[in-house]
Chains A and B, each alone.
Chain A
Amino acid sequence: MAIDKAMSDAMLGTFRNMVQECKDKNLSGEEFNKMVETLQKMEQYAEEMDDFAAFNAKLSTEGLMNTFSQYYGEVLANAAKEEYKSEDGEISDDKLMENTLGAYEDSLKSLKGTEQGEKIIPAIEKVLELGRSGISYPEFLTEIVIKGLDRALEGQVAMRDGIVEDLEWAKDSMLPVEVKMHEEILKAFDDSAVSSPFGLPDSFEHQLKRIEIEWKYKPEINKWHAVISRWQYMLEMFYDWLDAYCSFAPYDERWRTPGASEAQVKKNIKFTKECSPGFFKERERIFFESFGLKWEDIFEHETFINERKANRFEYSDERFDLIKRTYEHCKPFNDPPEELIDEAEKLHDEKRTHNPVRYKMGDKAKMEYEKHFGKI
C-alpha cells in the first residue's frame, strides 16, 4: 500500500516541479537524466512503502533529496553557461548583467507587499540602480560588496527584525530565561554590526554566535520548565484531593471517566481520597531530592512567582490559599477537616476556583498573533 497521496505529493511536489521546469526549458543531458532517475526512485518508495515516517527516513538516509538538488544545480549551471555565452562562445558580461538584473526585478515583484520583503526591497532597488548606471559587470559585483549590499541582500535587516521579534515574543510570554537568551543574541548581532567593515554583520559569524548562545541557555531552560511541571503537579494533587470529598465529585469528569459505571466512579473517588496523600508525600520527596526545594519553598521560587505574574497560574487566589491550607492535613490515612471541604464546595459552586485572568490569555495570545501575522 502506498504512502498517503496528500503526504507524498507535499513531499515530492517541489521536485516534480523542478523536473517540469527543466523540461519546459528543454534542458537535457546526463545530469538531467540522473535528476529524473533520482525522482523516480523517490516516487517508487512512495508507492512501495506505507509508513510516512519510514519513507521520510529512507529519503534522508539515502540522501535522495540532496542528490536530486545537486543534479538540479548542475543542470541549471550548465544551462546558464550556455545562456551567458555571446556569439563568439565566450561568457558575455552583458548577458550576465541582464540576467542578474532580471532576477532581482522578478524578486522585487514577489517581495512587494510582504512584511519581510519590504525590508529587503530598498537594497534590491539600490542594486538595480547600480546595475543600470552603465558600469561593467565586474565593477557592479565589486560595488555590491563595497557598499555592503551583499549583506543587505542576505536579509540582515530582516534577520535583526526576526531576533527582535523572538525577544518580544519571549517578553510577552514572560519566559525570563528565553528573554535573557534573545537579549544576548541581539547584543551579539549589534556588536558584530558595529565592528564589521560595512556596518552589517556577517551572517555566518552571527550564526556561530547564535549557536553558542542557544547552546549555553538550553540547560537552564530545561531546568526552569522541569521545576514548573513538578510543582504544578503537586498543587493539582491537593486540588483534586480536597475536591474528591465534595458533593459534586461523583459528577466531575476527573472521576466520572467516559463509560464508567456508578460503582467505578465511587471507587475512583475513594482511590483519590485514600491514596493521594501517600502519592503526594512521594512527590514531595522526589521534588526535594531533585531540586533541593521543600513545599513552602515553591511559593518564593522564581518559577512560581513568574508563572503567577504571567497569568499561567491555574487557580484563583482563594482556591490557591485553600490548597496551601490543605497541606498540613494531607497525610497518609488522614482526611481533610470539614471546614476546608465546605470552602472547596463553595468556591466550586460559585465558580471561583480558577484564575479568571488565565482564561483571558487566549485573547492576549490572539492579539499578539494578529500583530505579527495578520487577522485570524
Chain B
Amino acid sequence: MKKYEKSKIYHRSYETEKALYEAISSASDLNEFKANIEEGNLAVKNAIALTKDKEIAFKELYDKLKESVRAKSSEEILEKIDEAKTDQDVVNIVTNIDQKNSVIIAVDLFTDEFYGDFKVLEDIEVWENAEVPDEWKDEIHESVQRDIEKGRKDWQESVLPNNRNWDPNWNFNYDLIWEERHRRLIPFSDEIVKKRIEQHKNYRGIN
C-alpha cells in the first residue's frame, strides 16, 4: 500500500491494497483474514486495479504520442478487465488482447517499408534525370527499367506474400504514411515524400 501512496499512476492499486490491508488488520485471526479476502474477492480486485492503472498509463502515453495503434490494446483491456473473476482471468484477458494487437502493430509497421525504398528511388531519379552523353541514354533507361522490374517482382513474390502471412488482406496503404506515427520517422519534406510516393507506386507496380 505504502509504495503506491504518492504514486501518480497507481491510484486504484493504492485503494485495493488499502482494502487488503484493512482486511488483514481488522481480522482477529487467519481464518477471519482469509474470509475477508475471499468474501470481497480482494486479491482479484487488486490484480484488476493494478492492470487498470498500468493500462490507463499506457493509453495516456500512447494518446500523447499519437500512437493510436499501440493504444488500442490498452483500450480493449480496459473495456474487458472487469469481467475477470479470478487472477488467471486477469492474466488471460491481458495476454490475449496484447497478443492480438501485437499482430495489428506488426502489420501497421509494414508502412515503414516505404522509407526503406528511398535509396533506390533516389538512384532511379538520378539515373533518369542525369545529364549524360547520348550514347548512354538507352542503356541507362534499360537499366532503370530492369531495376523497376526487379522492384515489382520483389513486391509480388516476396513483400506481398510475407506481409500477407500476417494479414491475408494486406495491401500497401499510402494514406498511412501521413499518420504522425509513420510520418515523423521520414526525415524529408512533405514535397519530397509526395514525390517518392509516386515514384514508389511506379517502382513497386502499385496502382
Interface residues of A (CB under 8 A from B): 53-54, 57-58, 60-61, 63, 66, 69-70, 73-74, 77, 138, 145-146, 197-198, 202, 204-205, 208, 211-212, 215, 218-219, 222-223, 226, 229, 271, 274-275, 277-279, 281-283, 286, 289-290, 332-333
The answer on a CB contact under 8 Å between B165 and A211 is: no
The answer on a CB contact under 8 Å between A61 and B103 is: yes
Decide yes or no: A66 and B95 within 8 Å by CB, A204-B9, A215-B65 being known contacts: yes
Decide yes or no: A332 and B99 within 8 Å by CB, A58-B165, A74-B88 being known contacts: no
Q: How far is the CB of B60 from chain A (nearest CB, A)?
A: 9
CA–CA, A61 and B107, complex, Å: 11
Which residues in window 145-195 of B have CB below 8 A to A? 161-162, 165-166, 184-189, 192
B122: A residues at CB distance < 8 A: 283, 286
CA–CA, A13 and B92, complex, Å: 23
Q: How far is the CB of A95 from chain B (nearest CB, A)?
A: 14
The contact of B131 among A69, A77, A223, A278, by CB within 8 Å, is: A278
The answer on a CB contact under 8 Å between A138 and B187 is: no
The answer on a CB contact under 8 Å between A73 and B130 is: no
Known contacts A138-B24, A218-B185, A278-B130; 15 additional CB pairs below 8 A are A58-B165, A66-B95, A73-B91, A198-B3, A208-B61, A212-B61, A215-B65, A223-B187, A271-B136, A277-B131, A279-B126, A279-B127, A290-B188, A290-B189, A332-B132
Q: How many A-B residue pairs have CB under 8 A?
A: 109
CA–CA, A112 and B100, complex, Å: 38
Q: How far is the CB of A209 from chain B (nearest CB, A)?
A: 9
Interface string of B7-34 (1 = CB under 8 A from A): 1010000000000000010000000000
CA–CA, A66 and B93, complex, Å: 11
12 A-B pairs in the complex with CB atoms less than 8 angstroms apart = A57-B165, A63-B100, A70-B92, A77-B88, A205-B9, A208-B58, A218-B184, A222-B186, A226-B188, A275-B130, A279-B126, A290-B188
B61: A residues at CB distance < 8 A: 208, 211-212
Closest residue of A by beta carbon distance from B130: A278
CA–CA, A332 and B133, complex, Å: 8
CA–CA, A271 and B127, complex, Å: 12
CA–CA, A202 and B102, complex, Å: 24
Closest residue of B by beta carbon distance from A57: B165
CA–CA, A77 and B189, complex, Å: 55
The answer on a CB contact under 8 Å between B132 and A278 is: yes
Closest residue of B by beta carbon distance from A237: B126
- Is B54 located at the chain interface by the 8 A CB criterion? yes
A63: B residues at CB distance < 8 A: 96, 99-100
The answer on a CB contact under 8 Å between B125 and A202 is: no
Decide yes or no: A204 and B54 within 8 Å by CB, A58-B165, A219-B184, A290-B188 being known contacts: yes
A277: B residues at CB distance < 8 A: 131
The contact of B125 among A69, A222, A223, A282, by CB within 8 Å, is: A282
- Is B197 located at the chain interface by the 8 A CB criterion? no
CA–CA, A282 and B130, complex, Å: 6
B69: A residues at CB distance < 8 A: none
B96: A residues at CB distance < 8 A: 63, 66, 70
Closest residue of A by beta carbon distance from B107: A61
Looking at chain A's contact residues, is the secondary structure mostly helix, strand, loop, or mixed? helix
CA–CA, A286 and B125, complex, Å: 9
The contact of A226 among B3, B91, B131, B187, by CB within 8 Å, is: B187
CA–CA, A77 and B133, complex, Å: 76
- Is B5 located at the chain interface by the 8 A CB criterion? yes
CA–CA, A281 and B130, complex, Å: 7
The contact of B130 among A146, A212, A279, by CB within 8 Å, is: A279
The answer on a CB contact under 8 Å between B125 and A208 is: no
- Is B207 located at the chain interface by the 8 A CB criterion? no
CB-based closest 7 A-B pairs: A223-B187, A57-B165, A278-B130, A66-B99, A282-B126, A278-B131, A332-B131
Q: How far is the CB of B35 from chain A (nearest CB, A)?
A: 12
The answer on a CB contact under 8 Å between A53 and B165 is: yes
CA–CA, A198 and B115, complex, Å: 45
Q: How far is the CB of B155 from chain A (nearest CB, A)?
A: 16
The answer on a CB contact under 8 Å between B99 and A289 is: no
A283: B residues at CB distance < 8 A: 122, 126
The contact of B140 among A61, A146, A204, A275, by CB within 8 Å, is: A275
Decide yes or no: A197 and B166 within 8 Å by CB, A275-B130, A278-B132, A286-B122 being known contacts: no
A282: B residues at CB distance < 8 A: 125-126, 129-130
Decide yes or no: A197 and B3 within 8 Å by CB, A73-B91, A77-B88, A289-B192 being known contacts: yes
A77: B residues at CB distance < 8 A: 88
B119: A residues at CB distance < 8 A: 229
Which residues in window 94-114 of B have CB below 8 A to A? 95-96, 99-100, 102-103, 106
The answer on a CB contact under 8 Å between A290 and B185 is: no
The answer on a CB contact under 8 Å between A290 and B7 is: no
A289: B residues at CB distance < 8 A: 192
